[in-house]
């Protein structure tokens, strides 16, 4: 039995053991996947202890994605561009770091929800770690433009500059969106975790086909309610992203791609 774990703090509500357990059963892989509450002061010690006890890989969640990135001995390109990692693989003394959050989100939007990003006008709210991790996977699909709107405008402008070589991306403040139309609007801020609403005018949602909330399990968040009231026909939360990033990590570790559809269906919480 090969050992894997997710590490975070707090870790109580993690769905990762259930998701990977379900993947393992469906694909006949003999793995044991646990949840570890990492120490805020001695995160590296916890990782090394798990590795030395025979661990083969770890998922990393808040607040450790940057520390795990720093601790890795090799960083794959996706992790490098995100500046953070959500998945580690242990091979002897090597600690490999990748990041599947953005790919999981892109796969969910395109394959599961059926909205191609190619040629789409995308509005992304926020300019923190979650948005940074999604940018390269988005731009690789060649959208018409990705507009980043952030409360602290300078952060969005700066992030857009850093990714300018990967495609059409612009940073701005919420006040700059007047008169703009988008096909897909994604809330990548942490506002929903506190039931807050980014200062987005409903007008920026007019004509959008999909509103996507990165947070999972919060039901109809203020952002999704705003989108619903603006007439956006499709609303989604991050359950698909969560399962898809897990599937990518499972493939990386085990060489087998699990089916995701039925699990997403079982985990989905109605957006009402
Ligand atoms: P994460 O890793 O989840 O992205 P983060 O790096 O702390 O977390 O970034 C949080 C993002 O949510 C930021 O873009 C933040 O805006 P600021 O850069 O202006 O702080 C955004 N955010 C959080 N609460 C918000 C709110 N109530 N309204 C608008 N934006 C909010």
In a domain, 110, yes or no: no
191 lines ligand 1 (CB under 6 A): yes
Same domain? For 53 and 132 the reply is no
Same domain? For 208 and 252 the reply is no
CA distance 24 to 169: 38
* pLDDT reported for residue 168: 98
* pLDDT reported for residue 246: 98
In a domain, 107, yes or no: no
Which value does ipTM take for this structure?
A: 0.97
Number of domains making up the chain: 2
Segment 198-227 shows an average pLDDT of: 96
65 is catalytic: yes
- C-alpha closest to that of 198 among 233, 236, 152, 241: 152
Segment 26-30 shows an average pLDDT of: 98
Same domain? For 246 and 200 the reply is no
Same domain? For 187 and 84 the reply is no
Query: For 108-153, what is each residue's pLDDT tens digit?
Result: 999 999 999 999 999 999 999 999 999 999 999 999 999 999 999 9
* Cα of 159 from ligand 1 centre, angstroms: 13
Segment 249-271 shows an average pLDDT of: 97
Query: For 68-118, what is each residue's pLDDT tens digit?
Result: 999 999 999 999 999 999 999 999 999 999 999 999 999 999 999 999 999
* pLDDT reported for residue 42: 97
* pLDDT reported for residue 134: 97
152 lines ligand 1 (CB under 6 A): yes
Q: pLDDT confidence of 53, banded at 50, 70, 90?
A: very high
In what side-by-side order are the strands of the sheet with 145-149? 169-172, 145-149, 121-125, 184-187, 210-213, 234-236
């Amino acid at each position: 039995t090969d050992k894997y774990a997710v590490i975070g703090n707090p870790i109580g509500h993690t769905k990762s053991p259930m998701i990977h357990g379900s993947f393992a059963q469906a694909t006949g892989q003999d793995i044991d996947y646990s949840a570890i509450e990492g120490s805020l002061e001695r995160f590296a010690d916890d990782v090394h202890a798990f590795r030395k006890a025979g661990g083969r890989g770890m998922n990393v969640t808040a607040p450790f994605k940057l520390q795990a990135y720093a601790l890795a001995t090799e960083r794959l390109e996706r992790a490098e561009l995100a500046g953070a990692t959500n998945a580690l693989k242990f091979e002897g003394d090597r600690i490999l770091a990748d990041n599947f959050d953005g790919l999981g989100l892109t796969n969910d939007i395109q394959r599961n929800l059926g909205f191609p990003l190619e040629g789409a006008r995308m509005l992304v709210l926020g300019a923190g770690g979650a948005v940074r991790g999604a940018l390269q996977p988005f731009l690789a699909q060649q959208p018409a433009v990705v507009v980043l709107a952030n409360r602290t405008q300078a952060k969005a402008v700066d992030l857009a500059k850093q990714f300018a070589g990967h495609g059409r991306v612009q940073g701005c403040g919420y006040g700059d969106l007047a008169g703009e139309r988008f096909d897909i609007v994604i809330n990548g801020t942490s506002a929903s975790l506190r039931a807050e609403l980014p200062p987005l005018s409903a007008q920026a949602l007019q004509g959008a086909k999909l509103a996507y909330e990165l947070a999972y399990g919060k039901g109809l968040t203020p952002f999704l309610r705003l989108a619903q009231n603006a007439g956006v026909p499709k609303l989604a939360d991050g359950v698909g992203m969560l399962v898809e990033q897990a599937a990518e990590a499972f493939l990386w570790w085990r060489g087998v791609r699990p089916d995701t559809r039925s699990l997403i269906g079982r985990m989905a919480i109605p957006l009402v």
